[in-house]
Amino acid sequence: MGALSLRLFTRPGVVGCRSLSRSSTVATAALINKRSPSLLRPPPPSLVATRGLKDETFSKEASTLGKRWIRPDAPSPSEWEAPSFAFAFDIDGVLLHEREPLEGAAQVLALLDHYHIPFILLTNGGGKFERDRVAELNQKLHSNMTTDNFCQSHTPFQELLPEYADKTILVTGSDYEKCRQIMQGYGFRSVVTPGDIFTAKPEVFPFETVGKEMGKPLPKPLWTPPKVVEGETVKGKVLSAEEAEKEEEEKRLGEHLKIDAMFVLNDPRDWALDVQVFMDLLQSKQGYVGTYSEENNRGNWQGDGQPKLFFSNSDLIWAAKYHLPRFGQGAFQHALVGIWKEVTEGKAELKRTSFGKPHRETYEYAEEMLVRHREEWLKSKGYPQKVVRQGLKRVYMVGDNPESDIAGANDYDGKGKYGTEWVSLLVETGVYNELRMNFKEGDVRKADVVRKNVAEAIKWALMNEGWKVE
């Protein structure tokens, strides 16, 4: 394929692709119109990009040039309509592989920026401050993104601040201290880690741990079983041993550490310690560490004020440097669920909330973020308010994982409060494996379109919007 050139078709734009098959070519796909077409103006003379694709990907040379491959004469807001579509990109396996840019990734972002086409990065990765991750990506991809168009797996945890900002929460992940700092940065004021609990009472986990210097002082001491005083008289009643223990527990409980919510920020390292602490709290009395709820004995699991459990993503596998996919946070979640099933003898499902792709909560958050970012970004480019308010009609989700990227986009399609269409584009990079992609029609994991890489995916999407790519 020769150099990449972009301009708007002079005929009406064509949209909609839910019914397309993998065998559809770019040209024929662009002619299919399953939804109401939106008229697009003829292109201004300046609306042309030059250097770019060689063979089937952007050239390696171009990938080092940043924005230089794009002509500097970006369209004037007075010359054409604001794009009514946008993109959401996964990062690992789409833009990066083994932390290095994939061919064409930098050029794609530069092209979208040049033509005022909004986008966000939507990743199940995490474990870093958003500002730090964005700075890394800008350096690698020669881009100028901000945190306004970046959403990682735990970014939506900020939505829970009204409920938990002033309460004590437990957080785990790859680095206990970094997880604490991130949650505190979001505004959670009292943050505890499993390492803190282990440091305060090593008997909690009588084995070697992955980390050595693990914890900080707890905000309150841990509860320990009271000394039973059988025969003690309370309110004129002589207590049995069991009653005396319960009386002492109720008297002292409020003085000790209470966890109100538990968060898994990113892939945990010390699974054994984390599972032990989480299971203790899931069976506790009202979230007090070291207690055991009597409701468990009645089969009322998680029915005594235990802390709610939140996961930032459910990815079972991800693409790392090893030639086979590696386990992610989803594997830890399955391990915890499996142990819970054994403890409860299969009589109770583990109540939990999962964010990240493919869960709807994350797509709702991402759509809100994208709508806000689009409005502010187009305003900054000089578009009139009436043009900006025309709204976002379509989002192209570009990912490499059918279980998360594709399933989430397909499931959320048209179900948000804006009624925005979400189109799923699968790229054959990252965790893509053709042997595992044979999904039947109607399977939520089946992508609307499959393309070789991010450059080919963007090319198809632009054609679908009425842009010509030569």
274-283 residue pLDDT tens: 999 999 999 9
| Residue 53 belongs to some domain of the structure | yes
Model pTM score: 0.79
What pLDDT is recorded for position 144?
92
Pair 413, 341 in one domain: no
Are 178 and 275 part of one and the same domain? yes
- For 187, the 3-state DSSP assignment is coil
The pLDDT, as a whole number, for residue 354 is: 96
Query: Is residue 98 packed enough to be buried (19+ CB in 10 Å), middle (13-18) or exposed (0-12)?
Result: exposed
Same domain (yes/no): 95, 213 = no
Is 241 inside any structural domain?
no
Q: Which domain holds residue 329?
A: 158-222+257-354
Q: Is 180 found in the same domain as 134?
A: no
Q: Give the model's pLDDT for residue 227.
A: 63
Are residues 76 and 23 part of one domain? yes
Chosen domain end from 334, 354, 374: 354
Among 354, 381, 410, residue at a domain's last position = 354
Q: How many Cα atoms sit within 13 Å of 318 on the Cβ side?
A: 25
Is 227 a domain residue?
A: no
> Is 196 found in the same domain as 92?
no
The answer to whether residue 230 sits within a structural domain is: no
* Residue whose structure tokens are 């759509």: 367
* The total number of residues written for the chain in this structure: 470
Whether residues 292 and 388 fall in one domain = no
User: Count of CB atoms within 10 A of residue 12's CB?
Assistant: 12
* 177/306 same-domain check: yes
Contact 118, 149 (CB under 8 A): yes
**Per-residue pLDDT reduced to its tens digit, 275-334:** 999 999 999 999 999 999 999 999 999 999 999 999 999 988 877 788 888 899 999 999
46 is a domain residue = yes
Question: At 149, is the secondary structure helix, strand, or coil?
Answer: helix
Residues 48 and 98 in one domain: yes
250 in any annotated domain: no
Question: Are 295 and 444 contained in the same domain?
Answer: no
Domains in the chain, number: 2
Same domain, 402 and 272: no
Residues of the chain scoring pLDDT < 50 = 1-74, 79, 234
User: What residues have CB less than 8 Å from 267, skipping those under 6 apart?
Assistant: 127, 173, 174, 327, 328, 329, 332
Of 99, 85, 26, 73, whose CA–CA distance to 422 is shortest? Answer: 85
Q: DSSP 3-state assignment of 272?
A: helix
Residues 327 and 187 in one domain: yes
Q: Which two tokens stand for residue 234?
A: 């309370």
Residues 143-199: tens digit of each pLDDT: 999 999 999 999 999 999 999 999 999 999 999 999 999 999 999 999 999 999 999
309 in a structural domain = yes
Residues 28/32/37/42 CA torsion (nearest 10 deg): 10
CATH number at residue 168: 3.40.50.1000
SS3 for 243?
Answer: helix
Of 354, 387, 414, the last residue of a domain is 354
Please, are residues 358 and 348 in contact by the beta-carbon 8 Å criterion? no
CA 16: distance to chain centroid? 26
Q: Does residue 234 form part of some domain?
A: no
Look-up of token digits 């004590």: 168
CA-based torsion, 165, 166, 171, 177: positive or negative: positive
